């Protein structure tokens, strides 16, 4: 299967001495749904920031390795150019524009695609509202008044509005009630299935992520400690105890 994203031997430094990643290799197939798992501090968010070009804003840099997107080495490419190529990064923390309405937040995503933005469906919210009907009911509401779950839906929906070709979501379920978290992962699964959109999701809830993704990678201390098809990882009853601090039951 053709790779949308291929990371090989990636090492990342913060400052001059702090090594956050050491030789990480990950593949996201075209149309694949891949989960990146691990405990706090394992390097999951750093991996996404390396891909989307955000490291430079946090005094980080790629020290070694390659990041290849559809055959091109993009490790040194600025974040705005990566976004214009269709790599959309939903960051941890549900970053929405609180004083703008839901509709205005969605349209703000068009700027990420640069010259392609005006060609996208500027007034067509149907796809986003199809996957996130809760947002349709709040379309004219300011984003700051949405619940945490609705804000997470808006953050993902905003990226979807820009017609991504690789969607990366950092901690999709963080701080959400179990049912809302499950709903969001079901929606991501549906988007992947319907649109054949390549998705890379960072998640600490092992069971939730692996029930929807097709393949998983487990990071431990900045290295890939395990990887494989999701069902194979779910069947490994030592996974949470060994790599995730024992806090998540994989059954």
Residue 161 maps to a domain: yes
Report residue 65's pLDDT band, with 50, 70 and 90 as the boundaries: very high
Do residues 233 and 216 lie in contact, with contact meaning Cβ atoms separated by under 8 Å?
A: yes
Residue 250 maps to a domain: no
Number of domains the chain contains: 1
Q: What is the pLDDT of residues 124-155, one digit of tens each?
A: 688 899 999 999 999 999 999 999 999 999 99
At 95 the pLDDT is 87
Residue among 200, 226, 195, 227 at smallest CA distance from 212: 200
Q: Who has greater pLDDT, 118 or 184?
A: 184
At 93 the pLDDT is 82
How many CB atoms lie under 10 A from the CB of residue 28?
Answer: 23
Domain that holds residue 92: 3-243
Q: What is the pLDDT of residues 14-45, one digit of tens each?
A: 988 889 999 999 999 999 999 999 988 899 99
How many CB atoms lie under 10 A from the CB of residue 155?
Answer: 23
Q: What is the pLDDT of residues 151-197, one digit of tens each?
A: 999 999 999 998 899 999 999 888 899 999 999 999 999 999 999 99
Residue 49 maps to a domain: yes
The CATH number of whichever domain residue 54 belongs to comes to 3.40.50.300
Average pLDDT over residues 6-10: 97
Residue 249 maps to a domain: no
Q: Over 70: is that where the pLDDT of 240 sits?
A: no
Average pLDDT over residues 80-104: 93
Tokens standing for 175? Answer: 């701080």
User: 93-116 b/e with 16+ CB inside 10 Å = b?
Assistant: ebebeeeebbbebbbebbebbeee
DSSP annotation of 197: -
At 159 the pLDDT is 94
Average pLDDT over residues 91-117: 84
DSSP letter for each residue of 105-144: HHHHGGGGGGGGGGGS-TT--HHHHHH-HHHHHTTTSBGG
Q: Over 80: is that where the pLDDT of 249 sits?
A: no
Mean pLDDT, the chain, integer: 89
Residue that the structure tokens 């490994």 belong to: 236
Residue 108 maps to a domain: yes
At 172 the pLDDT is 87
Half-sphere exposure of 172 (CA within 13 A, CB side): 32
Residue 149 maps to a domain: yes
Report residue 63's pLDDT band, with 50, 70 and 90 as the boundaries: very high
């Amino acid at each position: 299967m053709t790779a949308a994203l291929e990371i090989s031997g990636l090492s990342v430094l913060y400052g001059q001495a702090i090594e956050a990643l050491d030789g990480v290799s990950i593949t996201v197939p075209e149309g694949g749904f891949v989960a990146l798992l691990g405990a706090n501090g394992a390097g999951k968010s750093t991996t996404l920031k390396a891909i989307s070009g955000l490291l430079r804003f946090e005094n980080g840099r790629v020290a070694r390795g390659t990041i290849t997107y559809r055959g091109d080495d993009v490790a040194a490419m600025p974040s705005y150019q990566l976004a214009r190529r269709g790599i959309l990064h939903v960051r941890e923390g549900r970053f929405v524009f609180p004083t703008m309405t839901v509709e205005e937040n969605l349209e703000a995503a068009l700027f990420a695609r640069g010259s392609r933005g005006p060609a996208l469906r500027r007034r067509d919210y149907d796809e986003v509202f199809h996957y996130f009907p809760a947002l349709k009911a709040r379309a004219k509401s300011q984003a700051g008044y949405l619940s945490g779950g609705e804000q997470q839906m808006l953050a993902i929906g905003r990226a979807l509005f820009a017609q991504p070709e690789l969607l990366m979501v950092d901690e999709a379920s963080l701080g959400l009630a179990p049912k809302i978290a499950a709903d969001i992962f079901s929606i991501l699964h549906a988007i992947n299935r319907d649109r054949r959109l390549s998705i890379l999701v960072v998640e600490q809830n092992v069971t939730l992520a692996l029930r929807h993704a097709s393949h998983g990678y487990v990071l431990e201390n900045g290295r890939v400690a395990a990887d494989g098809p999701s069902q194979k990882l779910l069947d490994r009853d030592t996974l949470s105890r060994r790599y995730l601090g024992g806090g998540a039951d994989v059954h």
